[in-house]
Amino acid sequence: MNKAIIIGATSGIGNELAKILVQNGYIVGITGRRKTELLKLKNSHPNNYVISSFDCTSENNSKKLSELTDQIGGLDLLILSSGTGDLNEDLDFETEHKTNLLNVNAFTEIVDWTFNYFKKQENGHLVAISSIAGIRGGRIAPAYNASKAYQINYLEGLRQKATKTKKPIYVTDIRPGFVDTDMAKGEGQFWVATKEKASRQIFGIIKRKKGVGYVTKRWWIIAKLLRLIPNGIYKKM
Ligand SMILES: NC(=O)c1ccc[n+]([C@@H]2O[C@H](COP(=O)([O-])OP(=O)(O)OC[C@H]3O[C@@H](n4cnc5c(N)ncnc54)[C@H](OP(=O)(O)O)[C@@H]3O)[C@@H](O)[C@H]2O)c1
């Protein structure tokens, strides 16, 4: 049986992906701070889920991941879906700091631990959910955009490292547009996907072991357009 861990399985995309993995025969280690939500998953398929409830910004993530991996009996796939970000037009530092603690610091610890685990094992698949927001800066939630740019860039570095190993180690960067979860904040949303549809597409990208995947698919057009907007125009938007 394949073994997977989902960081951030209590709601949204991570929660849906947990259900899809179990439907596909995985044993899944599920994490998040809200233990009641993890218990709901566990109760639906008691033999397929193992719970580890912790806050990625305050606990020793590496130790927690090692313990959970032992509990599920190995690791083939890790999906990092935990993320945060708030609208912060007034640049309240605590808001920015909170975002960076999870999306940058905890992210780095988790992907590094996972990459090193797979390198030692000589195979494995790391998947992280970044965002279309990481393509350009953003005045509405500056730390969110910047932290997602960090994730995109970091994952690219890990993909280079994976290639150098010449082993079947894969690193996938999922870049969603808008998905109908608690994270989707602010006005002017469009092409909003249900979490079910987004997660189905993400699972397809995982199966194909793609390096980068836009969700839903047509968001690659927005990514391309965002890159094409000249700086002189973008700064007025
Ligand atoms: N929804 C969108 O429109 C959208 C678009 C682009 C990218 N994304 C990205 O997709 C990923 C998943 O988000 P989502 O849309 O599924 O939103 P969500 O439903 O709010 O899920 C966020 C997950 O992160 C976990 N989390 C938050 N803070 C945490 C912490 N300190 N420690 C551990 N876990 C923590 C939450 O669990 P607990 O609260 O239980 O800890 C939850 O499971 C995020 O990285 C987000 O940036 C979302």
Q: Whose CA is nearest to atom 7 of ligand 1?
A: 131
Task: Report the pLDDT value the prediction gives residue 187, as an integer from 0 to 100.
Answer: 79
Helix extents (H) in the chain: 12-23, 35-44, 61-72, 93-100, 107-121, 142-165, 195-207, 219-228, 231-234
Task: Report the pLDDT value the prediction gives residue 59, as an integer from 0 to 100.
Answer: 79
Pocket test for ligand 1, best of 15, 183, 194, 226 (most atoms within 8 A of CB): 183
Task: Report the pLDDT value the prediction gives residue 159, as an integer from 0 to 100.
Answer: 98
Give the Å distance between the CA of 43 and the centre of ligand 1: 22
Mean pLDDT for the stretch of residues 166-184: 96
Report the 10 Å Cβ neighbour count for 19: 17
Tell me which amino acid residue 143 is.
A
Give the Å distance between the CA of 181 and the centre of ligand 1: 8
Q: Are strands 212-215 and 27-31 parallel, antiparallel or unpaired?
A: unpaired
Q: Which residues lie with the beta carbon below 6 Å from any ligand 1 atom?
A: 8, 10-14, 32-34, 55-57, 81-85, 102, 129, 131, 176, 178-179, 181-184
Q: Distance (Å, rounded) from C-alpha 173 to C-alpha 161?
A: 14
Residue 70 has pLDDT above 80, yes or no: yes
pLDDT tier at 205 (50, 70, 90 boundaries)? very high
Q: Match domain 3-234 to its CATH number in 3.40.605.10, 3.40.50.740, 3.20.20.80, 3.40.50.720.
A: 3.40.50.720
Task: Report the pLDDT value the prediction gives residue 186, as an integer from 0 to 100.
Answer: 74
DSSP class of 105: I
Q: Distance (Å, rounded) from C-alpha 108 to C-alpha 124?
A: 18
Task: Report the pLDDT value the prediction gives residue 1, as an integer from 0 to 100.
Answer: 86
Task: Report the pLDDT value the prediction gives residue 112, as an integer from 0 to 100.
Answer: 98
Q: Whose CA is nearest to atom 24 of ligand 1?
A: 82
Residue 88 has pLDDT above 80, yes or no: yes
Q: Are strands 169-176 and 27-31 parallel, antiparallel or unpaired?
A: unpaired
Residue 36 has pLDDT above 80, yes or no: yes
Examine residue 216 and say whether the peptide bond preceding it is cis (omega within 30 degrees of 0): yes
Report the chain's terminal Cα–Cα distance, integer Å: 49
Residue 65 has pLDDT above 90, yes or no: yes
Q: Distance (Å, rounded) from C-alpha 171 to C-alpha 173?
A: 7
- Residues with Cβ within 8 Å of 186's Cβ and at least 6 positions away in sequence, in order, are 87, 140, 141
Mean pLDDT for the stretch of residues 160-170: 98
Mean pLDDT for the stretch of residues 69-76: 98
Q: Distance (Å, rounded) from C-alpha 5 to C-alpha 71?
A: 11
Mean pLDDT for the stretch of residues 58-77: 96
Q: Distance (Å, rounded) from C-alpha 60 to C-alpha 51?
A: 16
Of 195, 201, 226, 225, which is closest to residue 213 (Cα–Cα)?
A: 201
Say how far residue 47 (Cα) sits from the centre of its chain: 25
Q: Identify the weakest region by mean pLDDT among 12-26, 87-101, 183-197.
A: 183-197
Domain parsing of the chain, residue ranges? 3-234
Residue 185 has pLDDT above 80, yes or no: no
Report the 10 Å Cβ neighbour count for 84: 20
Q: Rounded to two decimals, what is the model's pTM?
A: 0.98
Mean pLDDT for the stretch of residues 131-146: 97
Task: Report the pLDDT value the prediction gives residue 48, as an integer from 0 to 100.
Answer: 98
Mean pLDDT for the stretch of residues 141-159: 98
Of 16, 8, 14, 48, which is closest to residue 32 (Cα–Cα)?
A: 8
Place of tokens 């701070």: 33
